[in-house]
Amino acid sequence: MTDPILLRPHHALCLRFFEGKGYSEEYVNNAWNVLRTLRENGAFTVTAGPDVLCAACPNLGKNGLCRWQEKITRYDADAAEKLGLKDGGTYDFNAFSKTRAKELVPQICTDCEWAYICTKE
Ligand code: SF4
């Protein structure tokens, strides 16, 4: 069995709307691979720190913090609460619908530059 993928809570939302846009080519290629694996396998484990997307992101500092850490901490806490995700818990990526994710994005990702992608009709 494949090991579950480590994901920050708000990335369980972001990935549902991923359409190939991101911070660098490496980030985008990695995100497609993560999404493919999640669609096939489904399982992810929640982490409060850098995850499998951050690992290929140019915004992750050497100190393990995101360039927008304050905002990211807020998104993660809010997404974890609204989706009922606990740090270290393993969940099925496909257990909540895209419709539910679309409902949550405007409540959580209020100042995210990519939110237009996740909320478009
Ligand atoms: S480092 Fe920051 S911007 Fe990059 S994927 Fe992680 S949370 Fe998102």
Q: Which comes out higher in pLDDT, residue 87 or 3?
A: 87
- What confidence tier does 56 reach under pLDDT thresholds 50, 70, 90? very high
Provide, rounded to the nearest whole percent, the portion of the chain with pLDDT above 90.
Answer: 87
pLDDT above 80 for 90: yes
Predicted confidence at residue 1, as pLDDT, reads 54
pLDDT above 60 for 48: yes
Taking the centre of ligand 1 as the mean of its atom positions, its distance from the CA of residue 72, in whole angstroms, is: 8
Atom of ligand 1 nearest to the CA of 57: 4
**Is the full-model pTM beyond 0.75?**
yes
Segment 38-43 shows an average pLDDT of 91
Give the residue extent of every domain in the chain: 5-119
Segment 76-94 shows an average pLDDT of 96
> What residues contact residue 118 under an 8 Å CB cut-off, 6+ apart?
13, 14, 16, 17, 101, 102, 105, 109
Predicted confidence at residue 96, as pLDDT, reads 85
pLDDT above 80 for 107: yes
Average of per-residue pLDDT values in the chain:
94
> What residues contact residue 19 under an 8 Å CB cut-off, 6+ apart?
117
pLDDT above 80 for 2: no
CB distance 53 to ligand 1 below 6 Å = yes
Taking the centre of ligand 1 as the mean of its atom positions, its distance from the CA of residue 32, in whole angstroms, is: 15
